[in-house]
Amino acid sequence: MRNIEILMVLYKQHKLNIEERVKQFEATKFADEKTILKEFLFCLLTPQSKAKVCWNSVEKAFEYGLLEDNDLSKWRVVLSGVRFPESKLKYIMYNLNKIETESIDLVDLVRNNDDSKLKREFLIKTFKGMGMKEASHFLRNTGHLDLAILDRHILRNMLEFNVVDKLPKSLTKQKYLELEQKLKEFSKKIDIPFAHLDMLLWAKETREVFK
């Protein structure tokens, strides 16, 4: 109970910032193609990397016009600081080409009324480097607030607050869905909105509300 009390105090401290960030996510659902593509690339880069470093890399890529000339040497420069840059660069090149050649409309994907889980399935099946976590992250950042981003920070907190008995050795799709449901049940139990809880647990670990 003591841990929950501390979490509730932390929620009061961060609530206004979290609410503002959630509003920004909801607004991004109706943003332009460039903004949505930025979120897509950002979520490709984030695994095991610092979020701010990844966002800075995406901003630089757009600033330098790299999506038009696809200069790999320049991409390598802007990805400095991102972990596993070569693998992620391959994902970026593959996915950008797929979006162009198959006329995939990310704006329509984000804005249409399909179920969030169906959208997540499409992203995973269509793009390289998009697993359950990355697809959930992209959709959350574009206004879909019913999906969990089960990264190491969230999983560690799920263990700390007895949402789970132990950390999973691997995150299969089925395990991910099970843990996502457990986190939703926990959010109801402590009366913190699901989208807020995700941001709160991030803030607890990183001491700020970001993306």
Which residues are the active-site residues? 133, 151
CB 113 within 8 A of CB 81: no
Q: What are phi and psi of 129, to 5 degrees?
A: 85, 0
DSSP symbols for 36-66: HHHHHHHHHH-TTS-HHHHHHHHHHHHHTTH
The single residue listed with the structure tokens 């970026």 is: 92
- For residue 163, how many C-alpha atoms fall within 13 Å in the half-sphere facing its CB? 27
